[in-house]
Structure 1
Amino acid sequence: MSVSEEFNKRAHQDLISGLPEELATECLVRVPFEFHSSIKSVSRLWRNLISDGCFNRERRRAGKDESLLCLVQPLTSPSSPVNSSVDGDVNDKKKEEEGESHSQQNQQLQQPRVIGTPLYGLSVYNATLDTWHCVAIPERIPLFCECVSLQDSKQLLLIGGWDPETLQPVKDVFILDFSSGDGRGWKRGKPMSSARSFFACAEAGVGSKQVYVAGGHDDQKNAIKSAEVYDVEKDEWVMIPPMREGRDECVGFSIGVGFCVLSGYGTDSQGQFRSDAEVYDPDTDSWALVEDVWPFPDLSPRGRTSAAVGSKLWCFVDSERECEARWEVEDGEGKWKVVMETVRLPVTTMTSVFAGSLSGQAVAMVGGGGEESGTMMVRTDGGKWSHVSTPSGFSSLPFSYASIYV
Structure 2
Amino acid sequence: MDLINRLPQEIITEILMRLPYIFHKSLKQVCRAWRDMVRNSSFYDRRIDSGLSQKFICLLHRTGLTMYDPVRGFWHRSPPLPIGFKLAFSTRLVCWRRKLVFIGLKRYNRETRSILVYDFCFNRWHVGTEMPEMQLIKRFVCCASPQGTVYVAGDRLAAVYDINTDEWELLPPMPRPTGLASVSFTGGKFYVFDLQNDEVQNFDPNTGLWTPTDNISGIQHKENVLYAFGKLFVFGGQEITEHDLENGNSRQVISFREVILSKPGSAAVWCDRIVFAGVCYHSNGSSHRVLYMLKANAGVSERLIAINPAAEFRQTNVLSVTTVEL
**Fold conserved between structures, TM > 0.5:** yes
Q: Percent identity?
A: 23
**Structure with more of its chain in strand, by fraction:** 2
Q: Size of the alignment, in residue pairs?
A: 309
How far, CA to CA, are the matches of 1:347 and 1:179 in structure 2?
A: 45
Select 1:145's aligned residue among 85, 91, 97. Answer: 91
Structure 2 length-normalised TM: 0.82
Deviations 1:317-376 (A, max 9, x none): 4585697x542249xxxxxxx99886435465634363432222122335369x964332
Contact 1:157 / 1:173 at 8 angstroms: preserved in 2? yes
Structure 1 length-normalised TM: 0.67
Contact 1:317 / 1:342 at 8 angstroms: preserved in 2? no
Counterpart in 1 of 2:168? 237
Pair 1:134 & 2:74 matched: no
Structure 1 residues 134, 52: closer, same or farther in 2, change over 3 A?
closer
Structure 2: where are the runs of 5+ without partners? none
Paired residue type of 2:144: E
Paired residue type of 1:344: I
RMSD: 3.1
Pair 1:386 & 2:309 matched: no
Select 1:190's aligned residue among 105, 126, 129. Answer: 129
How far, CA to CA, are the matches of 1:155 and 1:256 in structure 2?
A: 22
Counterpart in 2 of 1:114? none
Deviations 1:238-267 (A, max 9, x none): 112111111122121002111011114xxx
Over alpha carbons, which structure has the higher Rg?
1
Counterpart in 1 of 2:19? 31
Question: Cα distance, 1:398 vs. partner?
Answer: 1.2
Select 2:234's aligned residue among 271, 294, 316. Answer: 316
How far, CA to CA, are the matches of 2:171 and 2:249 in structure 1?
A: 25
SS at match of 1:25: helix
Paired residue type of 2:166: D
Pair 1:259 & 2:190 matched: yes
Contact 2:161 / 2:169 at 8 angstroms: preserved in 1? yes
Structure 1: where are the runs of 5+ without partners? 1-13, 76-120, 216-223, 265-272, 331-337
Paired residue type of 2:244: W
Pair 1:398 & 2:321 matched: no
Contact 1:37 / 1:180 at 8 angstroms: preserved in 2? no
Paired residue type of 1:212: Y
Select 1:344's aligned residue among 237, 254, 268. Answer: 254
Question: Cα distance, 1:34 vs. partner?
Answer: 1.8
Contact 2:238 / 2:261 at 8 angstroms: preserved in 1? no
Select 2:65's aligned residue among 122, 128, 141. Answer: 122
Question: Cα distance, 1:402 vs. partner?
Answer: 1.0
Counterpart in 1 of 2:46? 58
Question: Cα distance, 1:298 vs. partner?
Answer: 5.0
Question: Cα distance, 1:25 vs. partner?
Answer: 1.7
Question: Cα distance, 1:284 vs. partner?
Answer: 0.4
Contact 2:277 / 2:321 at 8 angstroms: preserved in 1? no
Counterpart in 2 of 1:277? 200
